[in-house]
Amino acid sequence: MIFEKEMKETLDEKSESVCEMKEKKEFTKPDGGYGWVILFVAFTISFILDGCMYSFGIILDEIKNHYGVAQEIANLITSFNTGFLFLSGTLSAAFAKQFGCRIVVMVSAFIFSGMYFLSALVSSIYYLHFLFGIIGGIAFGCTYLTCFIILVEYFDKKLGLANGLTMAGSGLGATAFAPLTHFLNKYFGWKYTMMILAGLVFLCFFLGALLRPIEYYYKKIRQEDDNDEENFDSVIPKQTTSEIIIEIFKEMTNFRLLRENSLFLLMTMSNFFIFFVYFIVFIYIPVRAKELKIENYAIILSIIGFVNIPCRIIFGILSDKVIKAIYMNTFSVFLASVSTFSFYYLTTIYSQAVFAVFFAISAAGMNCLSTPYLVDIVGSKSFANANGILNIFRGISCIAGPFIAGFLTDKLGSNLYAFVFCGSSLAIAAILSAIVALKTIKNEKVVKANKSEFIVKV
Report the C-alpha gap between 272 and 327 in whole angstroms.
Answer: 18
pLDDT confidence of residue 24: 38
Count of alpha carbons within 13 Å of 78, Cβ hemisphere only? 33
Tell me: the pLDDT tens digits for 73-101?
888 898 899 889 888 877 887 888 888 89
pLDDT greater at residue 310 or residue 223: 310
Cα-atom radius of gyration of the chain, to the nearest Å? 23
The DSSP output letter for 9 is I
pLDDT confidence of residue 183: 92
pLDDT confidence of residue 236: 44
Report the C-alpha gap between 141 and 90 in whole angstroms.
Answer: 10
Which whole number is the average pLDDT over 165-187?
87
Q: Residues 44, 357, 298, CA angle at the centre, nearest 5°?
A: 65
Lowest mean pLDDT among 54-58, 216-220, 446-450: 446-450
**203 membership: H or E segment, kind and range:** helix 159-208
User: Could you give all domains of the chain from N- to C-terminal order, each with its CATH number?
Assistant: 32-220+239-253 (1.20.1250.20), 255-452 (1.20.1250.20)
Report the C-alpha gap between 356 and 421 in whole angstroms.
Answer: 18
Report the C-alpha gap between 432 and 117 in whole angstroms.
Answer: 40
pLDDT confidence of residue 23: 41
The DSSP output letter for 380 is G
pLDDT confidence of residue 450: 63
Tell me: the pLDDT tens digits for 333-354?
999 999 999 988 988 889 999 9
pLDDT greater at residue 270 or residue 155: 270
pLDDT confidence of residue 237: 52
pLDDT confidence of residue 225: 59
Is residue 117 pLDDT above 90, yes or no? yes
Residues 6+ away with beta carbon under 8 Å from 268:
258, 389, 390, 393
Which whole number is the average pLDDT over 420-442?
93
Is residue 357 pLDDT above 90, yes or no? yes
Smallest CA-to-CA distance from 401 within 144, 76, 55 is with 76
Tell me: the pLDDT tens digits for 380-408?
778 778 887 888 898 889 888 888 888 88
Lowest mean pLDDT among 98-112, 235-249, 286-300: 235-249
pLDDT confidence of residue 455: 56
Report the C-alpha gap between 388 and 370 in whole angstroms.
Answer: 12
Report the C-alpha gap between 124 and 6 in whole angstroms.
Answer: 45
pLDDT confidence of residue 340: 93
Using a 10 angstrom Cβ sphere, with 0-12 exposed, 13-18 middle and 19 or more buried, the burial of residue 34 is: middle
DSSP 264-294: HHHHHHHHHHHHHHHHHHHHHHHHHHHHTT-
Is residue 153 pLDDT above 90, yes or no? no
Lowest mean pLDDT among 170-174, 265-269, 453-457: 453-457
Give percent of the chain above pLDDT 90.
35
Angle between helices 159-208 and 35-54 (to 10 degrees): 80
pLDDT confidence of residue 291: 86
pLDDT confidence of residue 178: 86
Is residue 175 pLDDT above 90, yes or no? no
Q: How confident is the model at residue 280 (pLDDT cuts 50, 70, 90)?
A: confident
Tell me: the pLDDT tens digits for 122-145?
999 999 999 999 999 999 999 998
Tell me: the pLDDT tens digits for 13-34?
434 433 443 443 456 777 778 8
pLDDT confidence of residue 3: 34
pLDDT confidence of residue 190: 93
What single letter denotes the amino acid at residue 237? P
Q: Coil, strand or helix: which one is 190?
A: helix
pLDDT confidence of residue 449: 63
Report the C-alpha gap between 332 and 430 in whole angstroms.
Answer: 8
Give percent of the chain above pLDDT 70.
84
Q: Against a cut of 0.85, is the pTM above it? A: no
Mean pLDDT (the chain) is 83
